[in-house]
Chains A and B, each alone.
Chain A
């Protein structure tokens, strides 16, 4: 018997287990592989607040507040760095749009500004603005990155210390809903009062087990890591026009990805040569000296994408069945705030974390404001 069954042992599942355990709730995480074996462990580790929808900006800002104190709270080195995010604009249209975004972000309290080319050059001297065809950009210093494995482990260890159970290599095969839920795995059946679906690209399948339909679709996104080198790049550089993002991690490697607009939907963890070539061509255009930098490996992970590229958080039509999924590539960065919000919803029925507008009901009403600031 468990009060809350959490399906998915990525960053969102482990963070939620920690927040619930902190409140004295008996939580169990079910993870089919090892912790972080899905999207969490495959992501770039970026933490960005520069979105263009209010809900995403607020959620990411709450999250950064938690990240800033996380090493102390969880007593763990998560390799967190607030090197900032530089979002490049490539045209007058984009500049206009970004200036609007900055207005919205500033009105919500984010410290962000539009930068002209000379300011960008002073900030990132190795970036070739001509090669990148950039005309300006926005910069937020409190954006940054952390090591996804370490953050997941920090949450998991602290959750266990506070009494949560974590079952790795335990796949959920079915969920029975009677008076309470019964979680069926290969080894056992465990009853739970509440179920939270945080299964990333498998969320849709898990939701179907209790008759909840999710509009999410999985898409492959690829990424690569280079050899390590001394610190040369402070901020994360991203471009919505080129679909590229890259940064230098604390351990020294450059990690980044680029999106393929023609990628078909489906679960596909394989690596493509198309990506390697496209990424190499684009990143060496942005930073020509990287041409002699060795690529060590490339891999792929799944974005769990919703129709408006914003997460689906909270209650569903099935009582006590909650979802936190559809992060559309931003699951790592918002996880700390989402975990707080969902844990409050479970224990108190409400939360001060701004997730009310992100419930699944929004699709019924037809008010869909699509998040435009998606990359990778």
Chain B
């Protein structure tokens, strides 16, 4: 790994940027996420968080199990707003239950829905599709 190695592919964050943030005093994943936006892109940290945890470990000497992962936010995968907008099954029960609970009510074949597609880091292409509809 060198300075220019990309650690967060969604937001183009390099190894050096992570090291600099740690040197600046940001030694938790939560802080680094908010400072550099890594983990805020399409993959929501699936790729970068473990790598960054390793850099923190190397820089601070802390054990990996002491380095807490940021809270995982719903939805599990990127999902188009239109899917939630057309979701009719949600009953009044969904109102106060938390998202993890309501996932149980969710169609399990969501990943195969025709308009479900992988989100691109810079979605100008996807948006022109949207506009052409």
Contact = CB atoms under 8 A, between A and B. Distances in A.
Nearest to B92: A274
A123 B119 CA distance: 28
Contact of A295 (B84, B121, B124, B133): B84
Contacts of B122: 228-230, 252
Contact of B123 (A227, A271, A298): A227
Interface residues of B, number: 48
Contacts of B84: 276-277, 279-281, 295
Contacts of B127: 229-230, 232, 289, 293
A35 B42 CA distance: 25
Contact of A271 (B99, B121, B124, B130): B99
A41 B122 CA distance: 24
A289 B99 contact: no
A228 B123 contact: yes
B108 to A, nearest CB: 15
B40 A225 contact: yes
A103 to B, nearest CB: 37
Given A273-B99, A294-B80, A289 B119 contact: no
Contacts of B28: 34
Contacts of B126: 227, 229, 292
Interface in B7-29: 26, 28
Contacts, number: 142
Contact of A294 (B26, B40, B101, B119): B119
Interface in A216-251: 225-230, 232, 251
A35 B24 CA distance: 14
Interface in A188-231: 225-230
A230 B85 contact: no
A262 interface: yes
B130 to A, nearest CB: 5
Question: DSSP majority for the A interface?
Answer: mixed
Q: Which of A35, A36, A41, A291 neighbours the largest number of chain B CB atoms within 10 Å of its CB?
A: A291
B1 to A, nearest CB: 26
Contacts of B94: 272-274, 277
A41 B65 CA distance: 25
B50 interface: no
B99 A298 contact: yes
Contacts of A290: 81, 130
- By size class, the interface of chain A is 35 or more
B6 interface: no
Interface string B24-50: 001010110011010011101000000
Given A270-B99, A292-B126, 16 more contacts: A149-B34, A227-B42, A228-B121, A230-B127, A251-B37, A252-B123, A271-B73, A273-B98, A281-B84, A292-B82, A292-B115, A294-B81, A294-B119, A295-B80, A295-B81, A296-B41
Interface of A: 33-37, 41, 149, 153, 225-230, 232, 251-252, 260, 262, 270-274, 276-277, 279-281, 283-284, 289-299
18 contacts: A230-B122, A230-B123, A230-B124, A271-B74, A273-B74, A273-B101, A274-B95, A276-B99, A277-B87, A277-B94, A280-B82, A280-B85, A289-B127, A293-B80, A293-B81, A293-B130, A294-B80, A295-B81
**A-B residue pairs, 9 tightest by C-beta:** A291-B82, A273-B102, A280-B84, A297-B73, A294-B78, A280-B85, A230-B124, A271-B99, A284-B85
